[in-house]
Structure 1
Amino acid sequence: MTNDTKSPEGSPSPLRPITRCITGHNPQTGQAIIERDTLNEWQSFPDHGMAFNVVYSTNSMPANLAQDADLTAHDATIASGKLGLVPPGGTVCRVVDFAPGNPCVVHRTRSLDIGVIVEGTVEMVLDSGERKVLGRGDVVVQRATMHGWANPSQTEWARVMFVLQDIEPFEVAGKEVVEELGEARDVVKSSGN
């Protein structure tokens, strides 16, 4: 795989496209149906060697599925163009593709993030200097820490699926933990939390 291969839906990544399949209920029978079955769009950030694919978001926890309120809220969030890393009071599922040798962007989300390495290898970098190399199938539970992601391969792309959920405010070492985007400001909007 090379850095200049393009996927059909606009991601610079040569990894396979992502199909998003959302289920629902037939209103007459109550049986499960496929509500939506689409290829999801990518937002590319070539200067940072990555691309984002927002699979789904909610604006409340627990999510409200009645009369497809969650679908309506997700569509409105995406259409607004204002989605930060995690919606205040909600969740987001985002897939991130990392180019070979991507620059590591250190940042803090004020959220609980679960990351599953789907393809390739990534290195988690913490502000303490700790580093951890993770491969396909590994899982990271990132708890509002200052961190970054690097793809140590010079030839292969990496893909990580992240599920982020907003958290209650808290303090560490006498300071409130807040979102800190650093260089990630070029990539994502502030969540406002």
Structure 2
Amino acid sequence: MIRRIVTVNDKDGASTFSSDGLSPWCASFKSIPGFEVSMLWATDASDSPAEADFPDSGEGPRSWVPGPGGSLVVVVTFPPVSVMMSDQFDGMAAHREQMEKLPGLAERFEAENPGMHCTPTLDYGVLLSGKICLELDNGQTRDLQAHDVVVQRGTRHAWRNPGPHPATVLFVMLGSASSR
């Protein structure tokens, strides 16, 4: 679970803390042991930074892909790829659970190339812990270690964790008008 601290200006203009607690929306996936996501903040194009507010309700987000001018801050823990290679792994159950819990994003995953997807966003990804591999078209890959940063510019990609331990990545996603 991720702790989220939010600040705001009070009615007199002084900065203050408006909340301090766990991420308002976190999910783990029964069908993909070790896969966890936490959405920490979201804005749309009409929000100004000082006025943007994120509902702390128990409802899940409407979309995991920000629209043009919107943003999301998400932390994802990827289990080792061995979880998906296990004889007990049920790909259809995983797909159904992702469709339920990751609206807007899950439908962008390619059935014929598991994990590959493309979003109309500019993403800044920071590997917080573990090791992970970024795969692009034509089998191009880069191995990342903790504290490496990826600037993902709306390209088709997949995240693969070939190691034995989970990998946790912080993503800041900025929505663009691209229709890809």
- Which TM-score band applies after superposition, normalised by the shorter structure? 0.7 to 0.9
Deviation at 1:27, TM superposition (A): 1.3
In the superposition, the TM-score normalised over structure 2's length comes to: 0.73
CA contact (8 A) 1:113 1:163 kept: yes
**1:16-27 map, 5 Å:** 17-27=1-11
- Structure 2's unaligned 5+ residue stretches are 85-113
Partner Cα distance (2:132, 2:162) in 1 = 6
Q: CA RMSD in A?
A: 2.3
Query: Are 1:95 and 1:159, in contact at CA under 8 Å, matched by a contact in 2?
Result: yes
Match of 1:84 in 2: 64
Equivalent residues of 1:45, 1:51 under 8 A apart = yes
Q: Residue 154 of structure 2 is aligned with which of 133, 139, 144?
A: 144
Distance 1:134 1:99 in 2: 15
Count how many residue pairs are aligned between Structure 1 and Structure 2: 148
Per the alignment, residue 109 of structure 1 pairs with: 119
The 5-angstrom pairing of residues 29-178 of structure 1 reads: 30-40=13-23, 41-48=25-32, 50-60=35-45, 63-65=47-49, 68=51, 70-71=52-53, 74-75=54-55, 79=59, 81-101=61-81, 103=84, 105-154=115-164, 156-169=165-178, 177-178=179-180
Give the unaligned 5+ runs of structure 1: 1-16, 170-176, 179-193
- Show structure 1 runs of 4+ deviating over 6 A: none
Does the 8 Å CA contact 1:77/1:83 hold for their aligned counterparts? Answer: no
Structure 2: distance between partners of 1:97 and 1:80? 18
C-alpha deviation, 1:32, in angstroms: 1.2
C-alpha change, 1:78 and 1:87, in structure 2 (3 Å) is farther
Q: SS of 1:128's equivalent? A: helix
- Using the size of structure 1 for normalisation, the TM-score is 0.68
Measure how far apart 1:84 and its partner are. 2.8
Distance (Å, rounded) in 2 between the aligned partners of 1:96 and 1:117? 10
Counterpart code for 1:118: L
Amino acid at match of 1:130: Q
Q: In structure 1, the residue corresponding to 2:126 is in which secondary structure?
A: strand
Q: Percent identity?
A: 29
